[in-house]
Chains A and B, each alone.
Chain A
């Protein structure tokens, strides 16, 4: 499985993260998104006319939507990440997978503008970003009332991975995460998962490792 990848892309990170959590080894092919704009060059446009990354290639299968890549990785290697299959749970997974696109446009757009100087109406992008964060916060509050710590179930699913990166990186675009307690708890729960990997802008949870001990010579 080959991932056309950019280290700073939250969408590519969704796939890298899902692969790590599902125990799938990915071959990554780095794409010079910035400053080289390679995703818009002839080789990658031939593979994906949308001109976007990530692109996932597995034999004949070429996927260009990150949500599809998450589902594919889970289906192949860790189907518990797709949820139990019960109708309302399956529907919630789909609801939040679709929702994740709005995070990409708003929070992702604000981030590209603020960090990589891409064009955009920053005030509108941020306002839409706040609106999506509020919806996510309300959703997580309700899930907690149902006894569930994640978006679709009491265990994480592909929908959590689809939503996590752009939310965690909202401050890159000048959208603060301070007003969302439920999002904070959910983000922490994801970062504390076994086999979790970071991306630049998302720090390691150092508290998960104990304080280094006293040097042996001092004992």
Chain B
């Protein structure tokens, strides 16, 4: 009786037995990493219509975040500033700069500057800045060292799992409310203990149920 299959096929079952699970693991790990926002979203750095440098304004010159994002302490949105905020200074500083032509144009016509959104949550997730700032979560926790970014890029994945990591265990991410906009502050190095902070009137108790963020 002749062999119906060539000899090398004898190794096939072994190869399949070893290869398929390996492949499966590879696919799972691949999807887990490459399809996750850690890979797809972090580092997203679109080109903005105006080459505004956070490194210069917030870093070098040390402007407080709240000078421009002034609604952050009492509203859900840390609103992108209106053109008039830019022009408060740039009426006088670099008033003729080529890079600022769109800003001047917007100030004259009233047409908004079309900034590109970087920190984007799905429409069914309702994030509130004031709640986080009020609890002493620093800007840097979610946005990274914006004061060192020439053009802002997405520093954290902003995925639900990433949110929940902190909501389940907020303490390491808390700092005194006065240090919220201090990009260089490190609560661990400073030895900050929220339970000892006399300015805290209540325990931080972030929601971990669905309706905390979805409604």
Do the two shown chains form a genuine complex with each other?
Answer: no
- Chain A interface residues (CB < 8 Å from chain B): none
